Structure 1
Amino acid sequence: MVDPTSDLGEDVDEESAPRCATCGDAIVREPTHRVVTWVEDGSVHHRHFCSDDCKADYDDAA
């Protein structure tokens, strides 16, 4: 079943998939996919990460 709230449905190909904010790899059906969401100035923003390691590397660089 495709989750209608997900940007990563089963029909998403590598070209239209979100990219990891750290390594730039396309994220397609990755069970390690992580998304960080925040609200700033009334707008919702998000970053995608292909793994906890990439998220940790991004956090360390910030």
Structure 2
Amino acid sequence: MVDPTSDLGTDVDESDAPTCATCGDPIVQSATHRVVTWIEDGSVRHRHFCSDDCRDAYDG
């Protein structure tokens, strides 16, 4: 997976792209890409979502 702080719109192919935590689709050059970040047990955690709908539907 690519560095989540990088520009995900450039030079990322589907095999290296993050996947949506809800539907599992690769997220490549998507204007609706959302990342939710939180701290858990002293570590930074994050989840990628392909859209607001997938973020809202996530049950994790």
| Matched position secondary structure for 1:38 | strand
Q: Is 1:17–2:10 an aligned residue pair?
A: no
TM-score by length of 2: 0.84
AA of the residue aligned to 2:15 = E
In the aligned structure 2, how far is the partner of 1:7 from the partner of 1:37? 17
**d(CA) in 2 for partners of 1:14, 1:7:** 14
| 3-state SS in 1 of match to 2:46 | strand
**After TM superposition, where is structure 1 displaced by more than 3 Å over at least 4 residues in a row?**
none
Q: How does 1:1-62 map to 2 (within 5 A)?
A: 5-6=5-6, 8-58=8-58, 61-62=59-60
The two structures have a TM-score, normalised by structure 1, of 0.82
CA RMSD, 1 decimal: 1.3
Question: Aligned partner of 2:23: which letter?
Answer: C
Bigger helix fraction = 1
- 2: CA distance, partners of 1:10 / 1:24: 21
- Give the unaligned 5+ runs of structure 1: none
Gaps of 5+ in 2: none
Preserved CA contact (<8 Å) 2:9 2:30 = no
Structure index of larger Rg: 1
